[in-house]
């Protein structure tokens, strides 16, 4: 186990190495991303404030991510409730199909949506990115919410109903509060996925780029690279923050339901 | 034929020819039953016999194929569970984990016209009734199994239902706690005076607690009687086998000028009464059943009060207060079980000892 | 007799009906935005482009002939398969010891922390992670400049730069959590008393691992292989950023056909072919894996 532990720690270093490099060069004075480091500066961060196109892209991404996260979570609630509570004909096939985007290469999702949109004579835009992101976020939302709903004892809902509540007020007074941590977690995860997603946005974004698409276009200009590092630092810190909050909510939910924590989202 | 409530009790629940299928599976096969006001009634049977389905039918959680549920003279057809004057204690207790004990107990009072203070008072009174006064502010998930059980009871009783439905409420508790809760439930039922319907697979629990017990097999009621009648005079061999321990020995029956004579292998002939033949007097081959406690080992000084037969002790199981012996009557291959209290100064006999066994013809039950 | 309407109403009050009703919004969404587009792309792969948005009438196999005969497409397809195959092998081999360590060598209360640490990088921007590898592996990149600085090398290493190797390293890094999680889950499911039983029956630690742990972890390994292999074949960003001309893959060509050459039918054909090949390989792998894991034996794991 000792050798394994050393290996595991080395592996973690390998996993995190690229991310640790980000702030190193984001605060480095040199425009060339290479060792040795030349000095400390925050100018690349302040430079970000002047790029208005980036601000538009950020706002666009935020709008898309919020909408996709809400839609994916709503679809996720329906899907997770159906698959954990009920047995219906064709359940495996239907759920398998809904979860398919988890393994399907994103470029396939992107081009197939693009083809249909163009064929229908519509033009791409934020809405089509939202449509695509909702599709790929829904399986993640379902995976998270499945465990939230599975942890919920069905007799709790029956008890509320037996004590005089209606189906709707049972959902509001019992089901919702108990799966709320799962819902928050699903929202945050979906938001993060949408915020970071590149391929689908690249194909479907139309005239208003999302932040990753804009960032991709920045990569062609070497002089912008330090600014990319700065922006990347912000995005990575934000992602880690959101994911940590999501994890805290998921654990709280598991604890509330009196479950032993099994760890991990998937 | 409907099983009527006892004449001294006003019927409260009336179930008429209830049929229920789950797909191909016939879960309830024509249940006809009346349950009286203030009765402690048990539905007893092995798992899958339909007892929980029947309870949930009364609660309004199950749609039935046909038949009717009448509650206090009203047809419950189309009345959903949240509108019925019944409340349920769930097997898992279903204590809401996100609420405190008091919030759990007051959960069903939300729509009641009582003031906030009155609601809190009612909840506290209900908690007091189940021995949990002062627990109101505790978090629900911090409770022990027995405490959850009490909260579930308080939560249901605070709504003053006409019927309290209990779905295997004691099965999650350990043995000591279970025995304590049995006594408390009986006291509680006497105190509130409403009808309790208990679902259980534990025959001992049903015998201890109930005014009447319905034994169910495969979606049908096999027998519905007082605990004592049920124990002493089971109507079928299957019921006899399910309730407690019953020894069976082969026998032959014949009618001799109005006298019912049964000849039991190894024990000889005896006359029996009509009441001892719940399925009617079978002429020819039959089976006789008798409980372990109706047999007694005769120690040297004792003379038999009933009949006597020699036997060999095959197995001894010592329980502290009791000893169970498996004995073989001379000339009989099947061992029968008998129980003896371990009185002071009385030795526990060893395997292989020969003994004289006293048996009472009046305690026999004869099946066809 | 019940009318059809009444029958339907009855059905939607049963468990099955309610379940179907509940899943329908999500299923409908997947149907409209996934099934329909996937069917559309298959249909379009049989068309030929004539104008910006116009297709010639009638279906033909022209695109398939071109895709299968042109050496460029063939090479791209083979390279994509080779890359995702290598990535899969590397990722799963590197991931198994980690999953094993977290499942068997970490205290139960620390397991979720480890899993969380392993998954965090996955949730950060994929684009930025790939770009960072470009920065790390580049000619004057972090690795080369760092190694030069400490005097290990004099000239920059070139074998990890703008080629297939760079693509494989980057993808192996990106898909690490995908491989670890299913294996970890499978290992967690193993009842520890099986291992004690094996030891009790006289097997060594190594043999217990080979005869008990590994066969029981097989479903997790199979899942890990598929979950890495299938998406990597369609990866676009990594070959684009770190692959150089010799490291491009089929997804880059699909993008070129759609967005640059405006030949959607050929792009669709390449996409369909890529999916088909992946599906066939995945199914063959599943069947072989099932057989090897002793599938079909009585009492086998369901």
Domain boundaries, chain C: 71-292
- CATH class of domain segment(s) B11-240: alpha beta
pLDDT-wise least confident of A151-155, B246-250, C40-44, C57-61: C57-61
First-to-final CA distance of chain A: 26
Tell me which of B232 and C262 has the higher pLDDT: B232
Q: CA-CA distance, B290 to B231, in Å (whole number)?
A: 11
Residue of C25, C81, C104, C125 to mutate when probing chain A, most A C-beta within 10 A:
C125
- Mean pLDDT for the stretch of residues B145-173: 92
Could you tell me whether strands B11-22 and B66-71 are parallel, antiparallel, or unpaired per DSSP bridges?
antiparallel
- Rounded to 5 degrees, φ, ψ at B304 are -70, 140
- Mean pLDDT for the stretch of residues C35-53: 84
Q: CA-CA distance, C104 to C184, in Å (whole number)?
A: 10
Helix H segments across chain C? 4-11, 15-30, 36-44, 62-69, 71-100, 108-123, 126-137, 142-149, 164-174, 176-189, 192-200, 205-208, 214-233, 237-238, 250-255, 264-292
Q: CA-CA distance, B44 to B234, in Å (whole number)?
A: 14
**How many Cβ atoms from other residues are within 10 Å of residue C54's Cβ?**
9
Rg (CA), chain B: 25
pLDDT, chain C, mean: 84
Fold of A57-256: MetI-like fold (1.10.3720)
- Burial code (b: 16+ CB inside 10 Å, e: under 16) for C16-39 equals bbbbbbbbbebbebbeebbeebbe
pLDDT digits (tens, 9 = 90+) for C241-254: 888 888 888 889 99
Q: Which of C18, C20, C29 sits opposite A89 (nearest CB)?
A: C20
Read off the tokens for B277.
Answer: 């033949």
Residue C298 has pLDDT above 60, yes or no: no
Residue C295 has pLDDT above 70, yes or no: no
Chain C residues inside the 8 Å CB shell of A76: 26
pLDDT, chain A, mean: 87
CATH 2.40.50.140 domain position(s) in chain B: 245-367
Helix H segments across chain A? 2-26, 43-48, 52-85, 91-99, 106-119, 126-150, 154-162, 167-170, 176-196, 199-204, 211-218, 225-256
pLDDT digits (tens, 9 = 90+) for B18-34: 999 988 899 999 999 99
pLDDT-wise least confident of B145-149, B203-207, B293-297, C46-50: C46-50
Q: How confident is the model at residue C302 (pLDDT cuts 50, 70, 90)?
A: very low
Cα torsion at C52, C54, C60, C63 (round to 10°)?
10
Query: Are the C-beta atoms of A133 and A66 separated by less than 8 Å?
Result: no
Residue C137 has pLDDT above 90, yes or no: no
Query: Are the C-beta atoms of A265 and C119 separated by less than 8 Å?
Result: yes
Chain B residues inside the 8 Å CB shell of A160: 96, 107
Indicate the domain borders of chain A: 57-256
Query: Are the C-beta atoms of B165 and B51 separated by less than 8 Å?
Result: no
Read off the tokens for B264.
Answer: 């039991």
Residue of B80, B82, B122, B145 to mutate when probing chain A, most A C-beta within 10 A:
B82
Q: How confident is the model at residue C85 (pLDDT cuts 50, 70, 90)?
A: very high
Task: Please give the share of chain A, as a percent, with pLDDT higher than 70.
Answer: 95
Task: Kindly tell me the burial class for residue C240, based on how many C-beta atoms sit within 10 Å of its own C-beta (0-12, 13-18, 19 or more).
Answer: buried
Residue with tokens 């066969």: C215
The predicted structure's pLDDT at residue C297: 44
Q: What is the CATH number of domain B245-367?
A: 2.40.50.140
Predicted ipTM of the assembly? 0.84
Q: How many CA atoms lie within 13 A of B80 on its CB side?
A: 11
Could you tell me whether strands B247-256 and B322-329 are parallel, antiparallel, or unpaired per DSSP bridges?
unpaired
Residue A263 has pLDDT above 50, yes or no: no
C52 Cβ under 8 Å from any chain A Cβ: no
Task: Kindly tell me the burial class for residue C185, based on how many C-beta atoms sit within 10 Å of its own C-beta (0-12, 13-18, 19 or more).
Answer: buried
Chain A residues inside the 8 Å CB shell of C286: none
Residue C19 and residue A118: Cβ atoms within 8 Å? no
Separation of CA A140 from chain center: 8
Q: CA-CA distance, B108 to B112, in Å (whole number)?
A: 8
What element of type H or E holds B101? helix B101-105
Query: Are the C-beta atoms of B190 and B197 separated by less than 8 Å?
Result: no
- Mean pLDDT for the stretch of residues B87-107: 91
A159 Cβ under 8 Å from any chain B Cβ: yes
Residue B141 and residue A158: Cβ atoms within 8 Å? no
Residue A230 has pLDDT above 60, yes or no: yes
- Rounded to 5 degrees, φ, ψ at C200 are -60, -35
Residue with tokens 């309290």: B164
Chain A residues inside the 8 Å CB shell of C136: 17-18, 21
Residue C254 and residue A111: Cβ atoms within 8 Å? yes
Query: Which residues 163-182 on chain A approach chain B with CB closer than 8 angstroms?
Result: 163-166, 173-174, 177-178
The nearest CA of chain B is from the CA of A241 a distance in Å of: 26
Q: How confident is the model at residue B106 (pLDDT cuts 50, 70, 90)?
A: very high
Residue (of A23, A59, A58) closest to A41 by Cα position: A23
- Rounded to 5 degrees, φ, ψ at B34 are -115, 140
C116 Cβ under 8 Å from any chain A Cβ: yes
Residue A163 and residue B159: Cβ atoms within 8 Å? yes
- Mean pLDDT for the stretch of residues C115-128: 87
All chains having 3 or more CB pairs closer than 8 angstroms to chain C = A
Residue C236 and residue A5: Cβ atoms within 8 Å? no
- Mean pLDDT for the stretch of residues C244-273: 87
The predicted structure's pLDDT at residue B362: 87
The predicted structure's pLDDT at residue C299: 38
- CATH class of domain segment(s) C71-292: mainly alpha
In degrees, rounded to 5, the angle at the alpha carbon of residue B124 between the alpha carbons of residues B121 and B126 is 110
């Amino acid at each position: 186990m000792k050798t394994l532990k050393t290996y595991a720690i080395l592996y973690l270093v390998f996993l995190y190495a690229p991310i640790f490099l980000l702030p190193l060069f984001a605060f480095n004075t040199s425009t060339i991303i290479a060792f040795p480091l030349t000095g400390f500066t925050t100018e690349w961060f302040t430079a970000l404030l002047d790029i208005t196109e980036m601000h538009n892209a950020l706002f666009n991404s935020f709008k898309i991510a919020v909408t996709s996260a809400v839609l994916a979570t709503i679809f996720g609630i329906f899907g997770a409730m159906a698959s954990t509570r009920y047995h219906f004909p064709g359940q495996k096939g239907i759920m398998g199909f809904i979860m398919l985007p988890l393994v399907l290469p994103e470029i396939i999702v992107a081009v197939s949506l693009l083809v249909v949109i163009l064929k229908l004579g519509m033009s791409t835009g934020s809405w089509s990115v939202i449509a695509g992101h909702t599709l790929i976020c829904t399986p993640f939302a379902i995976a998270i919410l499945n465990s939230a709903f599975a942890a919920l004892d069905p007799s709790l809902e029956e008890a509320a109903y037996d004590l005089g509540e209606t189906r709707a007020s049972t959902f509001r007074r019992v089901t919702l509060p108990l799966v709320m941590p799962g819902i928050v977690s699903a929202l945050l995860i979906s938001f993060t996925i949408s915020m970071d997603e590149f391929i689908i946005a690249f194909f479907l974004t139309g005239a208003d780029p999302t932040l990753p698409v804009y960032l991709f276009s920045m990569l062609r200009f070497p002089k912008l690279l330090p600014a990319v590092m700065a922006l990347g630092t912000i995005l990575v810190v934000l992602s880690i923050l959101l994911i940590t909050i999501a994890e805290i909510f998921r654990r709280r939910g598991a604890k509330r339901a009196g479950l032993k924590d099994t760890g991990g989202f998937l | 034929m409907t099983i009527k409530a006892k004449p001294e009790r006003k019927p409260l629940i009336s179930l008429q020819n209830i049929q229920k299928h789950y797909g191909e599976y016939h879960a309830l096969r024509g249940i006809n039953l009346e349950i009286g006001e203030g009765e402690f009634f048990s539905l007893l049977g092995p798992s899958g016999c339909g007892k929980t389905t029947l309870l949930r039918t009364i609660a309004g959680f199950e749609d039935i194929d046909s038949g009717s549920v009448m509650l206090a003279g009203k047809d419950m057809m189309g009345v959903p569970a949240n509108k019925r004057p019944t409340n349920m204690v769930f097997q898992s207790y279903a204590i809401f984990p996100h609420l405190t004990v008091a919030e759990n107990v007051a959960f069903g009072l939300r729509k009641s016209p009582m003031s906030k203070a009155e609601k809190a008072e009612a909840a506290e009174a209900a908690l007091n009734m189940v021995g949990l006064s002062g627990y109101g502010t505790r978090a629900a998930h911090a409770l022990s199994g027995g405490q959850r059980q009490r909260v579930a009871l308080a939560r249901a009783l605070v709504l003053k239902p006409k019927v309290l439905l209990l779905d295997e409420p004691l099965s999650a508790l350990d043995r000591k706690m279970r025995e304590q809760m049995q006594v408390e439930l009986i006291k509680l039922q006497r105190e509130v005076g409403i009808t309790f319907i208990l679902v259980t697979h534990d025959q001992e629990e049903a015998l201890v607690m109930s005014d009447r017990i319905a034994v169910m097999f495969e979606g049908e009621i096999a027998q519905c009687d007082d605990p004592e009648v049920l124990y002493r005079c089971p109507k079928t061999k299957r019921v006899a086998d399910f309730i407690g321990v019953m020894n069976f020995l082969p026998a032959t029956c014949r009618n001799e000028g109005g006298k019912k004579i049964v000849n039991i292998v190894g024990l000889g002939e005896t006359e029996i009464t009509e009441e001892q033949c719940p399925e009617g007097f079978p002429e020819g081959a039959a089976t006789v059943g008798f409980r372990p406690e109706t047999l007694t080992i005769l120690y040297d000084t004792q003379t038999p009060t009933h009949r006597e037969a020699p036997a060999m002790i095959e197995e001894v199981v010592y329980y502290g207060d009791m000893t169970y012996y498996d004995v073989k009557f001379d000339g009989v291959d099947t061992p029968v079980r008998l129980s003896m209290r371990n009185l002071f100064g009385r030795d526990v006999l060893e395997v292989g000892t020969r003994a004289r066994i006293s048996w009472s013809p009046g305690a026999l039950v004869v099946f066809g | 007799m019940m009318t059809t309407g009444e029958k339907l109403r009855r059905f939607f009050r049963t468990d099955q009906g309610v379940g179907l009703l509940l899943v329908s919004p999500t299923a409908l969404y997947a149907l409209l935005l996934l099934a329909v587009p996937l069917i559309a792309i298959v249909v379009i792969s049989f068309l030929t482009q004539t104008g910006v948005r116009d297709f010639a009438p009638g279906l033909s196999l022209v695109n398939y002939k071109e895709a299968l005969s042109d050496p460029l497409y063939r090479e791209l397809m083979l390279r994509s398969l080779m890359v995702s195959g290598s990535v899969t092998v590397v990722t799963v081999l590197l991931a198994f010891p980690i999953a094993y360590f977290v499942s068997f060598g970490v205290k139960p209360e620390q397991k979720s922390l480890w899993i969380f640490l392993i998954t965090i990088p996955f949730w950060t921007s994929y684009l930025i992670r790939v770009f960072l590898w470009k920065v790390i592996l580049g000619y004057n990149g972090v690795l080369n400049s760092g190694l030069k600085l400490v005097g290990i090398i004099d000239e920059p290493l070139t074998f990890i730069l703008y080629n297939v190797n760079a693509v494989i390293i980057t993808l192996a890094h990106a898909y690490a959590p995908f491989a670890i999680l299913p294996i970890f889950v499978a290992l967690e499911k193993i009842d520890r008393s099986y291992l004690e039983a094996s030891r009790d029956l006289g097997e060594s630690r190594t043999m217990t691992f080979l005869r008990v742990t590994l066969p029981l972890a097989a479903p997790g390994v199979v899942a890990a292989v598929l979950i890495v292999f299938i998406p990597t074949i369609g990866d676009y960003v990594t070959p684009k950023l770190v692959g150089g001309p010799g490291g491009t893959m089929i997804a880059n060509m699909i993008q070129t056909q759609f967005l640059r050459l405006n030949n959607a039918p050929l792009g669709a054909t390449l996409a369909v072919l890529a999916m088909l090949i992946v599906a066939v390989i995945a199914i063959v792998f599943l069947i072989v894996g099932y057989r090897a894991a002793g599938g079909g034996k009585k009492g086998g794991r369901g």
